[in-house]
A and B are shown apart, each in its own frame.
Chain A
C-alpha cells in the first residue's frame, strides 16, 4: 500500500513528524478523499538528516518541476512547503503550517496511531478543525463540514 509505505519509511528512519491535512482526517475516520500525504516535521539538524535519508529511499523529487530536483538539506531547513513526488506517491513535507506553527507546537494536539505495525503522530481531529477554520479555500471549507460531523459522531460514541 503506497501511502502506508511512505509512512513506514519515515518511521523506519526515526523521522519526527506529524500527519496533517486530508490524510489525518481519513485516519481519524472522516469520509474525505485525498491523494497526498502531508506531514509537518521537526526542524532539528538530526531530524532533517533522518528525513533526508528517508526521502532518498523514497526517490523524492519536487513534484511540479520538470528538472526532477531532489530535495536537499538546504531545502529541508527552509520554512516553505516542499511539494514532492515519491515512488510511492505524492508527499507534502511542511516545515510549518498556519502562520508559523511548528512540529513542536503541534505535539500537544497530536495522537499516536498505528498502521501496519508503524506508529506515528497524527494531528488531532479537533486541532485539524481549528487549522481548517483559518483557511478560506472552498476545499477546506467543504472538508470542515465533514470534520465537524466526524467529531460529533466520535463524541457520541464516547461514554
Chain B
C-alpha cells in the first residue's frame, strides 16, 4: 500500500529542482500538495502549463461552446 510520508518536510515538486521525476516513485511524484495556502489548485496550474498556448485556448473555447450549447431539460423529459 502506498503511504504518504507525513512526518517529513514536504518534498519539492520534481520539476522545481531539475531532478528527474522518473527516478522517484509514483507516490512521491503525485503526493505533493494540490492546494496551496491560498486554496489554489496547483495541480490544475501544472496541467495548464503542460499545454501549448493553442491547447489552452482550445480548452477555454471548449468550455465556452459547452456553456453556449447546454440546454435545460424540461421536468417532463427527465
Interface residues of A, Cβ cutoff 8 Å to B = 1-4, 23, 26-27, 29-31, 33-35, 89, 113-116, 145-146, 148-150, 153-154, 156-157, 159
Contacts and interface: CB of A to CB of B under 8 A. Distances in A.
B65 to A, nearest CB: 8
B54 A115 contact: yes
B36 A149 contact: yes
15 contacts: A2-B64, A3-B57, A3-B61, A26-B60, A30-B48, A31-B48, A146-B40, A146-B45, A149-B42, A150-B45, A153-B42, A153-B45, A156-B15, A156-B16, A157-B16
Interface residues of B, number: 27
B48 to A, nearest CB: 4
B60 A3 contact: yes
Given A149-B38, A153-B45, A157-B49, A26 B56 contact: yes
Nearest to B47: A31
Contacts of B13: 156
Contacts of A31: 41, 44-45, 47-48
Contacts of A145: 38-40
A2 B61 contact: yes
- Choose among B41, B44, B46, B57 the residue with the greatest number of A CB atoms under 10 Å from its CB: B57
Nearest to A122: B53
B18 interface: yes
Contacts of B48: 29-31, 150
Given A30-B48, A35-B64, A150-B45, A115 B40 contact: no
B24 interface: no
Nearest to B60: A26
